Amino acid sequence: MNRNRFTKGAFALATGAMMTLAISQGAHAAERVRVRGTVESIDGDTLKVKARDGKDVTVVLKTGWAVTGVVKASAADIKPGDFVGIASQPTDSGVNGALEVVVFPAAMKGTGEGDRPWDLKPNSSMTNATVANAVTSVNGPTLTLTYKGGQKKISIPDGTPVVTLGAATKADIKAGATVFINGESTGDGVVSSDRVVVGTNGVVPPM
């Protein structure tokens, strides 16, 4: 995953992206929205996105807005001590099944730590936590995650998207690019945001 090759600039961008994520999960979550979709156009600081539900969303980008990329990673590289963010759903086995995994750079350990509801799929949750134990089975790895005040086991089925964070530029925000945006709804399909997470080299933000 080359997590140790994070440049200073890329780390700053990634930190900002995940701090935005942490803020959106806090007390004012009801006032915020998450936009997942494909860029249709960008004109100055106005971004037009076709959301995954088919709706057209206008994103007004705030002064000084920034961009972070996502880079493909591997569940096989996750080890005890790593800090991860995993969206998951309950399964019949009693162990949550991962929908996606973000492996944070080591310097970002603790960002947004905790377990909270998430809107990727019905009944999904987001767990930002440290890997205490990793066990591999025929169905893929199962991680025991620990965070302040709790512990959770999550299995990672084969085929689950696994990414880490990397550098991107505003030039990557173009028609056809897949994006994930945390922002504030201003009504009438308009969202205000200061950051865009974009897929690069064919990697789609799975958050």
User: Considering the domain boundaries, does residue 55 fall inside one?
Assistant: yes
**Percentage of the chain with pLDDT > 70?**
84
Give yes or no: residues 169 and 154 share one domain: no
What mean pLDDT comes out for the span 194-207?
93
Question: Any idea what the Cα angle at residue 57 is, between residues 113 and 198, rounded to 5°?
Answer: 50
Q: How many domains does the chain have?
A: 2
pLDDT in tens, 108-164: 899 899 999 999 999 999 999 999 988 887 667 999 999 999 999 999 999 999 999
The predicted structure's pLDDT at residue 94: 84
Query: In whole angstroms, what separates CA 90 from the centre of its chain?
Result: 19
Rounded Cα gap, residues 51 and 9, in angstroms? 29
Residues 36, 117: one domain?
Answer: no
pTM equals 0.81
Measured distance CA(146)–CA(167) in Å, rounded:
28
97 and 158 both lie in a single domain: yes
CA 143/CA 152 separation, integer angstroms: 8
206 belongs to a structural domain: no
- Whether the predicted pLDDT of 6 surpasses 60: no
Query: Based on the domain organization, do 105 and 57 belong to the same domain?
Result: no
Residue 31 lies in a domain: yes
Is residue 67 located within the same domain as residue 169? yes
Residues 41 and 98 in one domain: no
Predicted local distance difference test score (pLDDT) of residue 24: 41
Domain contains 14:
yes
156 shares a domain with 144: yes
Residue 123 and residue 42 share a domain: no
83 and 18 in a single domain? The answer is: no
Neighbours of 22 (CB within 10 A): 18
Whole-number CA gyration radius for the chain: 17
Considering the domain architecture, whether residues 77 and 155 belong to the same structural domain is answered as: yes
Verify that 59 and 10 share a domain, yes or no.
yes
CATH number at residue 18: 2.40.50.140
Residue 20's domain comprises 3-71+165-199
Please check whether residues 154 and 109 belong to one and the same domain: yes
pLDDT digits (tens, 9 = 90+) for 163-195: 999 899 999 999 999 999 999 998 777 999 999
Best-predicted range by mean pLDDT among 2-16, 24-38, 122-136? 122-136
